[in-house]
């Protein structure tokens, strides 16, 4: 069900599927913003890096810029996939569940990595927490949705 379609539930409350659709679109939309860093001028990257207190931008090697742009591309692609999934929740239900479950250990890994690399305290507690809460929210919202069987047109061939 698309977000703008008619909802058959009674009362003003939003159905579980509509809540999941909205969450997927907001979460995916936020991740789509990462595409901006893919094409961001290198000078802006350097300025942001230094203003965030991450140290001096290492200009002698292009590796940091390459990794930042590649990570941004992957985050943006993940956001696009989440938005796409929001348009057909029943079809993408297994993939949405996978994203939710993968997010939980990934969040723990990010926290451990951030602590090991001595990232700023606000980075340590925001990145992993955001990924963990998002994964839990996906799983919780998905489990509240009725699991209707796929129509013949939606069946894998």
Number of domains in the chain: 1
Listing DSSP states for 109-146 in one string gives: HHHHHHHHTT--HHHHHHHHHHHHHHHHHHHHHHHHS-
Q: Identify whether 34 is part of a domain.
A: yes
Using a CB cutoff of 8 Å and minimum separation of 24, what contacts does 145-148 make?
145/16, 145/17, 145/20, 145/89, 145/93, 146/16, 146/17, 147/90, 147/93, 148/90
13 pLDDT tier (thresholds 50, 70, 90):
low
Q: Identify whether 75 is part of a domain.
A: yes
Q: Identify whether 9 is part of a domain.
A: no
Q: Identify whether 59 is part of a domain.
A: yes
Q: Identify whether 121 is part of a domain.
A: yes
pLDDT over 60 at 151, yes or no = no
Tokens, residue 7: 């909802």
Give residue 15's pLDDT: 86
Residue 96 belongs to domain spanning: 16-144
Q: Identify whether 1 is part of a domain.
A: no
Q: Identify whether 155 is part of a domain.
A: no
pTM: 0.81
Q: Identify whether 76 is part of a domain.
A: yes
């Amino acid at each position: 069900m698309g977000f703008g379609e008619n909802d058959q539930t009674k009362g003003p409350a939003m159905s579980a599927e509509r809540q999941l659709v909205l969450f997927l679109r907001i979460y995916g939309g936020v991740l789509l913003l990462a595409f901006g860093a893919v094409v961001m001028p290198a000078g802006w990257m350097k300025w942001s890096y230094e203003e965030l207190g991450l140290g001096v931008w290492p200009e002698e090697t292009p590796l940091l810029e390459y990794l930042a742009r590649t990570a941004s591309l992957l985050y943006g692609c993940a956001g696009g996939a989440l938005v796409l999934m929001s348009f057909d929740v029943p079809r993408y239900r297994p993939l949405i569940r996978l994203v939710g479950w993968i997010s939980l250990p990934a969040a723990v890994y990010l926290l451990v990595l951030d602590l090991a690399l001595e990232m700023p305290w606000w980075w340590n507690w925001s990145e992993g927490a955001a990924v963990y809460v998002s994964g839990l929210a996906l799983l919780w919202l998905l489990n509240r949705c009725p699991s209707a069987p796929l129509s013949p047109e939606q069946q894998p061939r």
